[in-house]
Amino acid sequence: GQNKNGQLNIAVDSIVWPGSNSQGLSSATTIPISRCSEPCHVGELKQFQGDSCCWVCTPCNETSIVVDSQEHERCELCPI
């Protein structure tokens, strides 16, 4: 790819995805799904792992809800 005037253009056809053969040709027709950024379910909190962008989903307890602020998500006691 290339970075021109602050715009990054990725040459997706040049990427060798896992499962590609020795010529770089892949039997897969789609870009692999990232396993580290799947969304959490309702009532689950994103817990980041160190300096990584990846997270694990951790459920809040039964009497709490997930509150999302600009800084981070947290479990908070349900106000009802």
User: Side chain identity at 38, as an amino acid letter?
Assistant: E
Q: Which two tokens stand for residue 63?
A: 């009497």
Q: Which two tokens stand for residue 35?
A: 């396993």
Q: Which domain holds residue 70?
A: 2-77
Contact 45, 73 (CB under 8 A): yes
Does this model's pTM top 0.75? My answer is no
> Looking at the 3D structure of the chain, how many domains does it have?
1
Contact 60, 45 (CB under 8 A): yes
pLDDT at 61: 92
**CA gap 77, 59 in Å, rounded:** 13
pLDDT tens digit at each of 80 positions of the chain: 788 888 888 887 777 766 655 554 555 556 666 677 788 898 898 888 788 788 889 999 999 988 887 777 889 998 87
pLDDT at 32: 67
Give the helix/strand (H/E) hosting 58.
Answer: strand 55-59
pLDDT at 20: 55
